[in-house]
Amino acid sequence: ILNVEQSPQSLHVQEGDSTNFTCSFPSSNFYALHWYRWETAKSPEALFVMTLNGDEKKKGRISATLNTKEGYSYLYIKGSQPEDSATYLCAFIRGYSTLTFGKGTMLLVSP
């Protein structure tokens, strides 16, 4: 059984704050790490797919880093906006298995 742990479970910040979340996963036989954003009443949306140790990806104010040797990934949001309010999911894939999702970090950004 693969465990993907995300922390914190929830986060409440003010507009303009920068924030970051952590995703921990088993480091052996790593294949890929995904980040998704899931807004209320919508479908989860892919943010990043990361495959290489040291990978850094950026999309607007959101960026992510990956450390496959120690089994963690960070997601950063710079200058949070109310529209960033969502649950952020990470998912890990090992070898030829399927994606295993963490429980997510719920972010609330207040104006």
Partner 1 sequence: KAGVTQTPRYLIKTRGQQVTLSCSPISGHRSVSWYQQTPGQGLQFLFEYFSETQRNKGNFPGRFSGRQFSNSRSEMNVSTLELGDSALYLCASSLDLTVTYGYTFGSGTRLTVV
Cβ-count burial of 80 within 10 angstroms (0-12 exposed, 13-18 middle, 19+ buried)? buried
Is residue 47 within 8 Å of residue 35, measured between CB atoms?
A: yes
Indicate which single residue of 14, 40, 42, 111 sits in contact with partner 1 (rule: CB under 8 A). 42
Query: Does residue 101 belong to the site contacting partner 1 (CB under 8 A)?
Result: yes
- Cα 69 to its chain centre, rounded Å, is 17
Residues 3-32 interacting with partner 1 (rule: CB under 8 A)? 4, 32
CB atoms within 10 A of CB 40: 8
Query: Does residue 37 belong to the site contacting partner 1 (CB under 8 A)?
Result: no
Query: Does residue 46 belong to the site contacting partner 1 (CB under 8 A)?
Result: yes
Q: Which residues bind partner 1 (CB under 8 A)?
A: 4, 32, 34, 36, 42-49, 89, 91, 93, 96-104
